[in-house]
A = this chain, B = another copy of it.
Amino acid sequence: MAKEHCVPCRGGESALDPVELNALLPLTPEWHVDDSRGFATLTRTFKVKGFAGALKLANQIGLAADEVDHHPELRVEYGRLTVTWWTHTIPGLHRNDFIMAARTDSLFENLR
């Protein structure tokens, strides 16, 4: 899934329906859907080394995000990085968010 292409979002996209969502969730098993913002987001906290480790992963995610012009929210703390993806134009979850979650996993795997 990490190698799948993101579709440009130009507005008017609709959120994944529950069937689509349930089909995608097993493909990113370390991520969970969080509704605390009032819409669905996909989030994962990565354990990393110190503050520099969190920033290192954050910078790599930033490059991947700029490439496709689709950006997450990152919470940088000492020893961990929390990554939250959603599609602002919906707002909610699009297939793109799962693609980017899978890419984030790859970046993390290659970091260690």
* Residues of chain A at the chain B interface (Cβ within 8 Å): 50-52, 55, 58-59, 62, 65-66, 71, 73-78
Contact = CB atoms under 8 A, between A and B. Distances in A.
5 contacts: A50-B66, A51-B66, A52-B66, A62-B76, A73-B76
| Copies assembled | 2
A71 B78 contact: yes
Chief secondary structure at chain A's binding surface:
helix
The 8 closest A-B pairs by CB, nearest first: A74-B76, A71-B78, A55-B62, A51-B71, A73-B77, A51-B62, A75-B75, A55-B59
A65 B78 CA distance: 10
Given A51-B62, A55-B55, A71-B78, 13 more contacts: A51-B66, A52-B62, A55-B58, A55-B59, A58-B76, A59-B59, A71-B77, A73-B77, A74-B74, A74-B77, A75-B75, A75-B76, A76-B76
